[in-house]
Amino acid sequence: MQIKRQANQLMKQILMVILTIKRMSQVISRMLINSIHQQMNHYKMQLKTRLSSIKNIQLIIGDQLIFK
């Protein structure tokens, strides 16, 4: 009887460990996804800035060609 009780306790502990690991992996996954989204937004803003700079340069060059 005692061995059966100990086996049940051990199974409960193993299940708790598995559930804890599952929760931790979900949290880590969310953190990684958030980090990736932040990086993507950062790069997106950089690209927008560079694109607007390129457009400004194109306008300046276009104006210079027209008024020469």
At 24-67, the pLDDT tens digits run 999 999 999 999 999 999 999 999 999 999 999 988 888 887 77
Task: State the Cα–Cα distance between residues 53 and 45, nearest whole angstrom.
Answer: 12
- Domain of residue 31: give its range: 1-68
pLDDT band at 68 (very low <50, low <70, confident <90, very high): low
Largest CA distance in the chain: 100
Alpha helices in 1-68 (DSSP H): 2-67
Prediction pTM value: 0.62
Determine the pLDDT at residue 67. Answer: 74
Domain count across the chain: 1
Task: State the Cα–Cα distance between residues 15 and 66, nearest whole angstrom.
Answer: 75
Residue 35, token pair as written in the block: 């980090």
